[in-house]
Amino acid sequence: MATRQQASSGSSSSSSPQSKLSKLAGKCPDYVEYSKYPHKPIEPGDYNYPFMRPPPKCRTFSSPAVERVIEDLKAKVSSPDLGRLIENCLPNTLDTTILWHTDKSAQDGSPHTFVVTGDIHAEWLRDAARQLAVYQPFVKHDPKLARLMVGAIHTQAFYINVSPYCNAFHPPPGSGIHKGNTAKDNVFPPPNWNQVFECKYEIDSLASFLTLSNDYYENSGGDTSFMDPSWWQAFEKVLVVIKRESVPSFDEESGRALKHYYSFKRWTDIGSETLPLGGVGNPVNFGTGLVRSAFRPSDDATILHFFIPGNIHAVTELKRTRKNLLKQENLGAAKSDFATIKRVVDELIKNINDGLNTYGIIDHPVYGKVYAYEVDGYGGAVFMDDANIPSLLAMPDMGFVPVDDPVYQNTRRMILRKEGNPYYLTGAFFEGIGGPHVGIQNAWPMSLLVKIRTSQDDKEISEALELVMKSTAGLGLMHETVNVNSPGGRDYTRSWFAWCNSEFGKTILWLAKHKPHLIFKDGVGSYDIDKALRLVNQANDVA
């Protein structure tokens, strides 16, 4: 079966057999193959990056606003190499992963959008939300892009209503897109396998649906057109799952094991691909206020079910939702009593916040007060970080704490050192945070991009950006992981990994706004997308 783990396990070379290229010529290529080989024109520079966008007729979606900013950024950056990376990576999700979009689905008359993560033929709720996040600041300048976002929200609401415990889904009904191979595991409650690709319960998947909704609301100027009955139903299911997964393993008074709401068993010899204790997972204590997550954003099983970055993600998005969307004027067609919904959200926010402060922050013998990666409420804690977002490193990037928060800074020092984080991987040519998903030789470029966006140190930022730039295997695209002892990143996993390409685009836009002197030509100041697009539109009007 085409699982995420299997798709991540290979490595590739950038040398291109002529027979391969001739097969790709003249027709829309399979981007899985296309992304493994360099294509002309080659950009003269230190790295001689190729041009890796598919031909215009083969791109899955095009945004004039995004294209204008790409050209504007290329003209302003001081490095032609960086300009080519922007050109290749920033539009990659739009170019290659929007396999279906309609303004009026036969299913419910609403816009719908199906977004794959790259080389796996399914939509992950988390991946899709983060792939699209880089384009959210453009929606007010591009009505078609705004409709794409509304469609993406509708599709994720549909998925959650189908099977709220699941993380990855097949194309929606009526899309005409062929399905990949379903991972039919032993899951309770039984999901709808006709629509579900994989059913690993991850708290960040549900939070990502809220991220997608909140990002669109904030960047569109307050458009609530996505808040139809299906959205409200999905939101209520998110709340139900979060409340259920806040229940402890044992009754506080009797000590009896309580009912479990989710279990997962896979026939596998990979320990991180299934859960212990008959698929229920290791016990958690009562009275913590925290929420279980059976799996991490890497799709690896949690060791202790109170996954701290996932709880941070959930509470941050619940706060945003409470502020942005839970207003009387946005009530629309909510099926339940509005006051009850607000009360439940407020209760969850308080409980999770209290749990994070009480159980998530641990006195480390070396680094002082830090956030643990996972806890169980019994005193057990896992000290590490994983490259996939949400992560401990990404806390400020998610909006949970400011960069200068002292506990975050202690945590950051811990997870960016081999002595503090077993998955901080270093080698002769590359370094960064990895994780058990691919192994202890491969670090994720995504972790360096998050490191940049959570730093105020110019030297640290420049070194991380240089590491990323010299480790693309000569292809000018971001990969899932890079072998830390591979020169130039020639030994990597996943040539087509759209999520990381979007993270690169997001990082460049962050640098352009907050650290323009590190990437722009002399005299170019802080970059503002709204201002840039207004100026371009004015110039076009004059012309």
Q: Which helix (H) or strand (E) holds 101?
A: strand 98-102
Last residue of a domain, one of 404, 422, 440: 422
Phi/psi for 160 (5° steps) reads -65, -40
Closest by CA position to 422, among listed 388, 384, 387 = 384
Rounded distance between C-alpha atoms, residue 128 and residue 208, angstroms: 9
Distance CA 528, CA 522 (A): 17
| Separation between Cα atoms, residue 488 and residue 234, nearest integer Å | 44
What's at 387, amino acid-wise? A
Query: 66, 90 in Cβ contact below 8 A?
Result: yes
499 is a domain residue: no
Q: Are 489 and 471 in contact (CB under 8 A)?
A: yes
In whole angstroms, what is the distance from residue 480 CA to residue 378 CA?
35
The sign one gets for the Cα dihedral 404, 406, 410, 412 is: negative
In this structure, is residue 120 part of a structural domain?
Answer: yes
- Residue 326 forms beta bridges with which residues? none
What is the tally of structural domains in the chain? 2
In this prediction, residue 181 carries a pLDDT of 84
Prediction pTM value: 0.94
Measured at the CA of 93, the angle between CA 484 and CA 238, to 5 degrees, comes to 95
* CA angle centred on 118, ends 29 and 17, rounded to 5°: 40
Runs of H (alpha helix) within 77-133: 80-89, 92-96, 125-133
Do 193 and 305 belong to one domain? no
260 falls within a domain: no
What pLDDT, on a 0 to 100 scale, did the predictor assign at position 120? 87
Same domain, 120 and 232: yes
Answer yes or no: do 160 and 291 share one domain.
no
What span, in angstroms and rounded, lies between the C-alpha atoms of 115 and 321? 23
Query: Does 215 lie in the same domain as 293?
Result: no
DSSP state for residue 174 in the 8-state scheme: T
In a domain, 450, yes or no: no
As a whole number, the mean pLDDT across the chain is 92
| Bridge partners, 382 (sequence order) | 374
Considering the domain architecture, whether residues 189 and 303 belong to the same structural domain is answered as no
Positions in the chain short of pLDDT 70 = 1-26, 328-336, 536-543
Same domain, 355 and 403: yes
Q: What is the pLDDT of residue 335?
A: 53
Residue 235: inside a domain: yes
216 shares a domain with 309 = no
Domain assignment present for 394:
yes
Res 536: pLDDT: 64
Question: Which residue, of 370, 396, 422, is where some domain finishes?
Answer: 422
Residue 23 has phi, psi (to 5 degrees) of -70, -30
- Give the separation between CA 149 and CA 91, rounded to whole angstroms: 15
Can you tell me the distance from the alpha carbon of 517 to that of 396, in angstroms, rounded to the nearest whole number? 22
Give, to the nearest 10 degrees, the angle between helix 529-542 and helix 64-76: 100
The rounded distance, in Å, linking the Cα atoms of 483 and 492 is 6
Q: Number of helices (H) and strands (E), helices first, in the chain?
A: 18, 17
pLDDT of residue 329: 66
Same domain, 240 and 340: no
Q: Which of 362, 388, 422 is the last residue of a domain?
A: 422
Residues 290 and 365 in one domain: yes
Q: Is residue 117 situated within a structural domain?
A: yes
Say if residue 390 is preceded by a cis peptide, omega within 30 of 0. Answer: yes
Determine the pLDDT at residue 7.
Answer: 39
- Domain extent, residue 111, equals 99-246
Residues 334 and 241 in one domain: no
Question: Using CA atoms, how far apart are residues 455 and 253, in angstroms rounded to an integer?
Answer: 47
Does 241 lie in the same domain as 108? yes
Cβ atoms of 133 and 509 within 8 Å: the answer is no
| CB distance 63 to 504 below 8 Å | no
Q: What one-character-per-residue DSSP string does 376-389 give? A: -SSS-EE----SSS
- CB atoms inside a 10 Å sphere around CB 441: 15
Same domain, 217 and 104: yes
> For residue 455, is it within any domain?
no
Q: Which stretches of 4-112 are DSSP H helices?
A: 4-7, 18-24, 31-34, 64-76, 80-89, 92-96
- Lookup: tokens for 350: 């308080």
